[in-house]
Structure 1
Amino acid sequence: MSALLPPLSLYIHLPWCVRKCPYCDFNSHQADRFEQNGQLPEEAYLAQLLADLDADLPYVAGRPIQTAFIGGGTPSLMSEDFYYRLMDALRDKLTWVEGAEITMEANPGTFEQEKFRHFRQAGINRLSIGIQSFQPNLLKTLGRIHNRDEAIHAVDKSRAAGFDNINLDLMHGLPDQSHAMAMEDLQIAIDLNPEHLSWYQLTIEPNTEFYRRPPTLPEDNTLWNIQDAGQALLTEHGYAQYEVSANAKIGRRAAHNLNYWRFGDYLGIGAGAHGKITLADGQIFRTRKTRHPSHYLNNLPEALVIKDAIAEEDLPLEFMMNRLRLFETFDLADYQRFAYQEVPSALIKACEMGLKQGLLDANEWQHKRVKTTEKGKLFLNELLELFLP
């Protein structure tokens, strides 16, 4: 039965940061508010993570783990010993595919850089470094605690530590950012020669400091020009756009993210972690763990999880919201495989509407395949609205 279930990944959430950035809506909490004697509760959190995983093990259903992603927060705040012990425990409790991609998010600050070698030795083989900008004034506006030189040095340090698969996170459309500043940031990142670049526009999210006190963002024309020029520059240097906000060299697309967008399954452990699980009977549900670290640390694993079944009528939109984020052709048969139901007539009609509006490729549709056109990439939200139940 496990062969019929979708591929399975693992997400691990570490909820602490040195300081909350004003644009961040992720589940992150200022570390010093949880420290005792200057230390985060690593021992207790590791124990709860593993208990959390034990509670989710029935959902594995014999499947090997394809990929793992350690996100936050700032996972690199935790000690080297924490990751040696965590990775040893994960190898004991789970079966892994050979060469599984295991990513950690890391800040480029000097303190974290000193740990890179240990992270690699523990078994983490891909580093995602949160740079966001190389401009000193923009780093200050964004609340980042590293500087330009530290960001550049972090890439050198990660290479020296043995990482041959690196992603750089970079934002554009930042407060008072000009076209020239955005292109300079992108060129510096390209010159650092990472395998993968996550390059995305800043959006103002609820429950953030920027939402409460909105900054002045570039005008729409500037944003469009940055996007067009930036993608052209990335393509010129061999970074193909394969997803809304991701570009990669050949063979270096993020395997973990691909599993998300192809509607694969993933366990989510840690405070605020989300998961998506398919059962042998075809039921699909999402899980979410309690968000606040203190609550997470003081509850039994079975009390932590909230399960929300995905209603049958919502599956077409759920599937397409993920699948159309990827700029690749897919077969309609993928829907049957991952959504565990026949392709509904409503989905067919929505695709036909997308064809009429020039949002989906007519040639691919003749072969029962789906692919967004260039127009569809630009108007993805309008395309997805066609799949609303």
Structure 2
Amino acid sequence: MIPLQFHPRAAAWRLDSLPPLSLYIHFPWCVRKCPYCDFNSHEPRSALDQDGYIDALIADLESALPLIWGRRVQTVFMGGGTPSLFSPAHIDRLLRALDARLKLNPDAEITLEANPGTLEIAQFAGYRAAGVNRLSIGVQSFHPGHLSALGRIHGADEARRAAEQASRHFDTFNLDIMYALPGQTLEQALADVEQALALGARHLSAYHLTLEPNTLFAARPPANLPDDDLAADMQEAIEARLAAAGFVHYETSAFALPGHQARHNLNYWTFGDYLGIGAGAHGKLSFHDRIQRDMRHKQPAAYLAGVAQGSQVQTSQPVAHADLAFEFMMNALRLTEGFALSLFNERTGLPLSTILPALEQAQARGWVQRDGDWLRPTLAGQRFLNDLLGLFLPDQD
């Protein structure tokens, strides 16, 4: 691989090789917005115009093609919102359009997020036939009381049926579960994990319930939330149980059987590139002379109007060189097994000396371990990830 060049005196900066490329597609609607959710999702006020939105996604992609011309797409992720509100026929039309316009890898990972509603479950076979080869299901819990507390519209039986159907049609599928839920005990948190394992999940995403700003839970926090000590016990118990089941804890909240890691997410964590299309979608694209971040209009109506006028991109700006170290580390330090330090230079165009003082501080505090060219966060570094990342923030002066 040709090394990346950085010439501070001339303020020259160049990437001589570009990272892997993924495609993210956002579907911004949910039947009902969950009280903990801070994602770009909206409750439809009328029947969804599925044809119209697919048309807009295709037009959005076509307008972005010059930015990625000739580059091969490794993974596709359809997220939301709830993409499974769209029929298999519409997903099929979208994937055919992608195939006609992009250089998709023959073995590209193509993921669709789904909810365990009765209608969505009935469509799983159709999604597989359309070309989706990985499903990610927002189960959150198998406990009726906890599902109710989270404002979920599916029940425990639907969650189990969704996993059973996913196992029939997909070699790899993910179940999202949450812990530290209102009134949840350690035993109940582990029971959700046991149920997910019994249903044959090859990948689990286990998230601590967080009261995010601008959510209903932030405005009106639920009662009986587990304290920090109990939540930490839940996290440790979940990690230990999944390790005993043969799962690799490869990212902060992600666990997978060997060979079933989410390739799309790994591209994020290794500071790869991704084109984002759809309402509110974010993208990060590298060029030989810059790294650029784009964001589409968040409101579906504004996005659709923007596509019609060729102005769906709300913001587009290069990442400042001073911010690249933090942005890289914010992603790469989520990898529990760590990464080769040479990747920092390859993906940012900056010399390793840029981050050596921060690395020395992190080592002194016991937050990272370095073996030659390999760097990994320690258990303490994983627990205090925000503090660790703070060491890589650009000098405010």
Same fold (TM over 0.5): yes
Q: Which of 325, 342, 355 is matched with 2:334 structurally? A: 325
SS at match of 2:163: helix
- The residue aligned with 2:373 is 368
Tell me the distance in 1 between the aligned counterparts of 2:144 and 2:16. 50
The letter of the residue matching 1:104 is L
- 1:219 and 1:112, CA in 2 relative to 1: closer, same or farther beyond 3 A? same
Residue correspondence of structure 1 range 196-345 to structure 2 within 5 A: 196-216=203-223, 217-281=225-289, 283-300=290-307, 302-305=310-313, 306-345=315-354
Q: Which of 21, 29, 32 is matched with 2:34 structurally? A: 21
Q: Which of 381, 386, 389 is matched with 2:391 structurally? A: 386
Deviation at 1:371, TM superposition (A): 1.2
The letter of the residue matching 1:170 is I
Residue correspondence of structure 1 range 102-121 to structure 2 within 5 A: 102-121=110-129
Deviation at 1:207, TM superposition (A): 1.1
1:39-81 residue CA offsets vs partner (Å, 9 max, x unmatched): 3111111111111111111221311110010001110011122
Deviation at 1:322, TM superposition (A): 0.5
Deviation at 1:342, TM superposition (A): 2.2
Asked if the contact 2:332–2:338 (Cα under 8 Å) also holds between the matched residues in 1, the reply is no
Gaps of 5+ in 1: none
The letter of the residue matching 2:361 is M
The letter of the residue matching 1:95 is K
TM-score, length-scaled by structure 2: 0.93
SS at match of 2:109: strand
Tell me the distance in 2 between the aligned counterparts of 1:67 and 1:198. 19
Runs of 4+ in structure 1 off by over 6 angstroms are none
TM-score, length-scaled by structure 1: 0.94
**In the alignment, is residue 165 of structure 1 matched against residue 172 of structure 2?**
yes
Deviation at 1:224, TM superposition (A): 1.1
Tell me the distance in 1 between the aligned counterparts of 2:42 and 2:334. 29
SS at match of 2:99: helix
SS at match of 1:299: helix
SS at match of 2:100: helix
Residue correspondence of structure 1 range 69-88 to structure 2 within 5 A: 69-88=77-96
SS at match of 1:166: strand
- The residue aligned with 1:60 is 68
1:119-158 residue CA offsets vs partner (Å, 9 max, x unmatched): 0011000000100011111111111111111111112212
Gaps of 5+ in 2: 3-14
Tell me the distance in 2 between the aligned counterparts of 1:219 and 1:73. 30
Tell me the distance in 2 between the aligned counterparts of 1:115 and 1:84. 12
Deviation at 1:3, TM superposition (A): 8.4
Tell me the distance in 2 between the aligned counterparts of 1:3 and 1:352. 28
**In the alignment, is residue 131 of structure 1 matched against residue 139 of structure 2?**
yes
SS at match of 1:361: strand
Q: Which of 358, 362, 367 is matched with 1:354 structurally? A: 362
SS at match of 2:181: coil
The letter of the residue matching 1:234 is L
Range moving further from structure 2, 55-64 or 228-237? 55-64
Tell me the distance in 2 between the aligned counterparts of 1:375 and 1:208. 30
**In the alignment, is residue 30 of structure 1 matched against residue 38 of structure 2?**
no
- The residue aligned with 2:99 is 91
The letter of the residue matching 1:260 is Y
The letter of the residue matching 1:387 is F
Tell me the distance in 2 between the aligned counterparts of 1:87 and 1:250. 27
- The residue aligned with 1:101 is 109
Range moving further from structure 2, 370-379 or 217-226? 370-379
Query: Could you say what the CA RMSD is over the residues aligned between the two structures, in angstroms?
Result: 1.4
Tell me the distance in 1 between the aligned counterparts of 2:247 and 2:78. 24
The letter of the residue matching 1:69 is F
The letter of the residue matching 1:112 is E
Tell me the distance in 2 between the aligned counterparts of 1:309 and 1:203. 30
